[in-house]
Structure 1
Amino acid sequence: MSLFFNKKSIVIIVMTLFVTIMAGCSNSSKPSGDAANNGKNSSETSESSEDKNSKSDAPSENSNVETSNTENNAQKAVLDNIKKLSEEGKIINCDFPVKTSTLQDIEKKWGKADKSDWVGEAKGNYATYSSKNVVFGTNKGDQVFEVRSFDSQLKQISLSDVKDFFGQPDHDVTSNGERIIGYKSGSEFKILFVFKDSGNDPKLDHYSVLYPSGTKNNMSGDKGREW
């Protein structure tokens, strides 16, 4: 009886040890909750960081749209200023209007021109003030009949910009490599836009406000320029 009991006790002890060892192995093979969560968080952080880097490297569509809108607004503002001033016979950044200004008026404030050339086709003498980006066309009586602007702001304006703002031109010709379109401004003045670049939508080179009546020569019967 004692021997049977001892054998039975030994079997129970062995079984208990076996179960304990197997349970320990099973627990050690599984990652702890904190370890699993840490691994998951690390993976998510890595993916999130990659997404952010990818988004930061990609160009912003909103930024491009805002830049385009800003440029369009700036061009429209220049064209609006051109239109309003032309009704007074003036160009941008110049206080000397056609019709009522003379070459003497200009020289009193700006001094002598850098150069002066007679242009028969344009019906007058053209005085260039390079530092002002302005050229004045005057008749034989020194009356200003045309003022041209070569302001740097104009270089960003395209042919389509002008047409979109002013509509279809009253005058449209191509001559000597230049595309010239014109619009009436009130009853006395006209605006001429000159494009020199090639292509379907060239950029503006310069523009002028013209007083056609100032190009007439009644003594010789010359009717002067229309545009």
Structure 2
Amino acid sequence: MTTTFKKAAGIIILASVFGLTACNSSASTGNSAEATNTPAAEATASPSPAAAEGSAPPATAAAPDTAAGNTSGAVAADSAGQLKELLELARQGKVPGVEYAAHSGMIDEVEAAWGEPDTKESAGKGIYSTYSAKHVVFGSNKGSKIFDVRSSAADLQPLTLKEIEQTLGKPDDTAVNGNDKIYIYQAGKEYQLKFIIPEATGTVDHISVFSEQDSFNNMAG
């Protein structure tokens, strides 16, 4: 009986030893699997530096900057062309869209073609006739000769002094009339091209093509 008991006890002890060994082996295998699997998951989730640098978003973000630069260049080119045209017309005594010129035009011709002005009043060195619908004002002397042609056309009014100076250079002269600043460019020997810019807006209100010699009344008597 004692011998049998000892054998049974020995078998139980061996079984326990084998069971503990098996558990330790399983635990080691599980830990090894975790150690092996974790870096693999992290490597999959994190892109390589090369992939990050070559990804699409930076290229997409650059596109609007390029487009904006092109648009700005186009606007600047349009303003430059417009200003060069203004100076060229001023050398002929004219403003855009008006055939009647300072020095050579007569206010009687304007009235025959356009009708009576909305207002006609004496101001400064002459009589000023306003045609509101055409955004044009003519200054004429007592002999009816036009010496000043002014335009407040809508496409002139976005122009700034910076744009004007970038294309035409610094003005030959400046003047102040109340809150308006006047920037004067000589357009040949005969004419002046003036840009009138109110302090309140910082953009052109109107332009003037002016013939100073005709601003005086040269009628005899």
Q: Using the TM superposition, give the Cα deviation of residue 80 of structure 1 relative to its aligned residue in structure 2, in angstroms.
A: 0.7
Partner of 2:60: 55
Partner of 1:225: none
Q: Does 1:115 align with 2:119?
A: yes
The count of aligned residue pairs is: 202
Q: Using the TM superposition, give the Cα deviation of residue 164 of structure 1 relative to its aligned residue in structure 2, in angstroms.
A: 2.1
Partner of 1:172: 174
2:161 and 2:98 mapped to 1: Cα distance?
Answer: 23
TM-score (norm 2): 0.71
- Partner secondary structure for residue 157 of structure 2: helix
Whether the 8 Å CA contact 2:142–2:219 is kept in 1: the answer is no
Whether the 8 Å CA contact 1:75–1:156 is kept in 2: the answer is no
1:110 and 1:74 mapped to 2: Cα distance?
Answer: 31
2:44 and 2:150 mapped to 1: Cα distance?
Answer: 68
1:220 and 1:102 mapped to 2: Cα distance?
Answer: 18
TM-score (norm 1): 0.69
Tell me: higher relative CO, structure 1 or 2? Use CA pairs within 8 A at least 6 residues apart. Answer: 2
Partner of 2:10: none
Whether the 8 Å CA contact 2:192–2:211 is kept in 1: the answer is yes
Structure 1's unaligned 5+ residue stretches are 1-28, 30-35, 222-227
2:90 and 2:121 mapped to 1: Cα distance?
Answer: 24
Partner of 2:217: 217
Equivalent residues in 2 for 1:194-213, closer than 5 Å: 194-198=196-200, 202-213=202-213
Structure 2's unaligned 5+ residue stretches are 1-33, 35-39
1:142 and 1:93 mapped to 2: Cα distance?
Answer: 21
RMSD of aligned Cα (Å): 3.8
Whether the 8 Å CA contact 2:142–2:217 is kept in 1: the answer is no
Amino acid in structure 1 at the alignment position of 2:133? S
Partner of 1:70: 74
1:133 and 1:80 mapped to 2: Cα distance?
Answer: 21
2:59 and 2:219 mapped to 1: Cα distance?
Answer: 76
Amino acid in structure 2 at the alignment position of 1:55? T
1:133 and 1:181 mapped to 2: Cα distance?
Answer: 20
Q: Using the TM superposition, give the Cα deviation of residue 219 of structure 1 relative to its aligned residue in structure 2, in angstroms.
A: 6.4
Q: Using the TM superposition, give the Cα deviation of residue 42 of structure 1 relative to its aligned residue in structure 2, in angstroms.
A: 11
Question: Is the radius of gyration larger for structure 1 or structure 2?
Answer: 2
